[in-house]
Amino acid sequence: MHRNAAPAETATLTVDGAQPISAELVARVGELCDRAEALGGRGRLVVYAAGAPVRARIEGLTVALVSRWERALRRLERLPVALVAVAEGDVGGPALDALLATDYRIATPSARLMVPVGPGATWPGMALYRLAHQGSQTAAVRRALLFGDPIGARDALALQLLDEVTDDVTGALDAVAGLTGNLSGPELAIRRQLMIDAGTTSFEEALGVHLAACDRTLRAGGAPV
């Protein structure tokens, strides 16, 4: 994976999906969230996701550790910065978890999204939920979830699980910087949360959050409320 020097106000996180969830990984995500929040809504977080377990590895995992990992991902997807992922090669395990929590996903043609399966074991996380929620009940997603069939980069692009497939990762990252440059971090975070909640929240519940966002925007613009 080609990684030139990160531009100013960019935090980066590398997740190796071949490695199991660990306390060290949870801590790194927390530290990166701290750094991203310190950017004051002006920057972005780039997640480099690569690697996948050869099977559903559950050795050494506990419910408490998986819960901490999912809370770290939840914090990640609520950050007031743009979240961009770069995927290469097989992407599974915690790398897939992190990829599915981002706003804009760039992949090289070699990328394959993978949900490892094995006798008596399923990957212990919310990747199945996120894949089903984001990719709908298409045949490719169904086969991935049930049988562990990889989803190739082009298929993932067609399913809108990826935003772009390219060999020019650096150019794609530069283009995304221009795409997100007009939005403040807090505004982006509000839009992301409204979008995430839309599929599972009632209209009445969503209305309260929407009105709060409207109030914030009107006050920032000096309009009467």
Rounded distance, CA 196 to CA 77, Å? 10
Q: Please, what's the largest Cα pairwise distance for the chain?
A: 61
pLDDT value for 223: 47
Give the chain as a DSSP string. Answer: ---PPPPTTEEEEEEETTSPP-HHHHHHHHHHHHHHHHTTTS-EEEEEEEE--SS---TT--HHHHHHHHHHHHHHTT-SSEEEEEEEEEE-HHHHHHHTT-SEEEE-TT-EE---EETTEE-SSSHHHHHHHHHTT-HHHHHHHHH---EEHHHHHHTTS-SEE-S-HHHHHHHHHHHHTTS-HHHHHHHHHHHHHHTTS-HHHHHHHHHHHHHHHHHHHT---
Q: Which residues contact 41 (CB under 8 A, 6 or more apart)?
A: 80, 81, 184, 185, 186, 188
Rounded distance, CA 203 to CA 221, Å? 26
pLDDT value for 109: 97
Q: Annotate 133-177 with three-state secondary structure.
A: HHHCCCHHHHHHHHHCCCEEHHHHHHCCCCCEECCCHHHHHHHHH
Along the 225 residues of the chain, how does pLDDT read in single tens digits? 544 434 447 889 999 999 989 999 999 999 989 888 887 767 788 999 999 987 666 667 788 898 999 999 999 988 888 899 999 999 999 999 999 999 999 999 999 999 876 655 555 567 777 877 776 667 888 888 778 889 999 999 998 999 999 999 999 998 988 776 666 667 777 777 777 666 666 666 666 766 776 676 667 654 444
pTM for the complete prediction?
A: 0.79
pLDDT value for 192: 77
| Token pair for 22 | 């660990």
